[in-house]
Amino acid sequence: MSNPYPDLPPHVKELFDTLTSLPTPEYCRHCGSKLLNVDTTFFSRGEKFWTVPLPVCPKCDLKEDTATFISADVC
Ligand SMILES: [Zn+2]
């Protein structure tokens, strides 16, 4: 199986490996609301390179800025 993102630094690859291998919870562990899966697209140098569905609690997570998930390629 070839590497789908050969240009990424190793720590970024690990991040996405972790994100995509996490079990997807169905309900929020904080409030018990049913979670939404939101496709989140990550960019590197302006190019779209990865989209992962992230579970988002409509009560808890949407109060915060979900853009904090997209900080990996800034460094
Ligand atoms: Zn919640």
- In this structure, the chain runs to a length of 75
Task: Give the domain extent around 42.
Answer: 10-71
Whether 27 maps to a domain, the answer reads yes
Give the distance (Å) from ligand 1 centre to CA of residue 46: 32
Whether 26 maps to a domain, the answer reads yes
Q: Alpha helix (H) ranges present in the chain?
A: 10-21
All residues with CB under 5 Å from ion ligand 1? 28, 30-31, 33, 57, 59-60
Whether 4 maps to a domain, the answer reads no
Convert the pLDDT of each residue in 51-69 to its tens digit. 888 888 888 876 655 555 5
Give the distance (Å) from ligand 1 centre to CA of residue 62: 9
Give the distance (Å) from ligand 1 centre to CA of residue 33: 6
Convert the pLDDT of each residue in 3-47 to its tens digit. 666 677 888 888 878 877 877 778 998 899 999 888 888 787 777
Q: How many domains does the chain have?
A: 1
Whether 3 maps to a domain, the answer reads no
Which residue type does 39 have? D
Whether 60 maps to a domain, the answer reads yes
Q: What span, in angstroms and rounded, lies between the C-alpha atoms of 43 and 34?
A: 28
